[in-house]
A and B are shown apart, each in its own frame.
Chain A
Amino acid sequence: GENVEQHPSTLSVQEGDSAVIKCTYSDSASNYFPWYKQELGKGPQLIIDIRSNVGEKKDQRIAVTLNKTAKHFSLHITETQPEDSAVYFCAAVSGAGSYQLTFGKGTKLSVIP
């Protein structure tokens, strides 16, 4: 089955700096890659996603890049703010027809004011 590796497990940045989280996946058939943000005590919330026919997608301060050949994708957050502090999860779709997501183990991002 699919295996998703996520790095780093923790990341601290100064407010205003950029943050980058990287993920690799194993199944070359995977074609959908979402990123979720989870604040303390809450459920994961989708923040951005990318499909395999696109190399990059941007939404204001957040961007995701995908390299299908290398089987890795990354989340980029620019001009970080304290409210960006949370745990971020990457995921990949596995299992045609059921839309099962395989998640990375998460990155705890801390933005220092």
Chain B
Amino acid sequence: NAGVTQTPKFRVLKTGQSMTLLCAQDMNHEYMYWYRQDPGMGLRLIHYSVGEGTTAKGEVPDGYNVSRLKKQNFLLGLESAAPSQTSVYFCASSWAETQYFGPGTRLLVL
């Protein structure tokens, strides 16, 4: 039982490049979330999903897209990366209120 896993662990992008971050969970959770963490800002919700095939915007959705084609996976896409998207990205999943977090992806956009 791996819990929540994230791929990759670290990535460097140039401005304008695109990439996809993958989150996978093996707990059969319905709800999945993507957060970004910046110094002094806590965790801010980017997008979330309440079930397979659904997505919704969180607090800071601009510049990101998501997809939930399979219940166990939640993908976060950056179509044209900007330096302001340099951050640590965390995925989480839940049955209800209690969210379980992955180890994070550190992204540097130059």
Give me the interface of A with B, judged by CB distance under 8 Å. Answer: 1, 6, 9, 32, 34, 36, 41-46, 49, 89, 93, 97-106
Contacts and interface: CB of A to CB of B under 8 A. Distances in A.
Nearest to A98: B50
B61 interface: no
Contacts of A34: 97-99
Specify which of A6, A9, A32, A98 lies most central, judged by the most chain B CB atoms within 10 Å of its CB. A98
B101 A44 contact: yes
26 contacts: A6-B42, A9-B40, A34-B99, A41-B104, A42-B104, A43-B90, A43-B101, A43-B102, A43-B104, A44-B43, A44-B90, A45-B101, A46-B99, A46-B100, A49-B97, A49-B98, A98-B31, A98-B50, A99-B31, A99-B94, A99-B99, A100-B45, A100-B58, A101-B43, A103-B44, A105-B42
A46 B43 contact: no
Interface residues of B, number: 25
Interface of chain B: mostly helix, strand, loop or mixed: strand
Nearest to B90: A43
A32 B16 CA distance: 40
Given A49-B98, A99-B97, A99-B99, A105 B41 contact: yes
B48 interface: yes
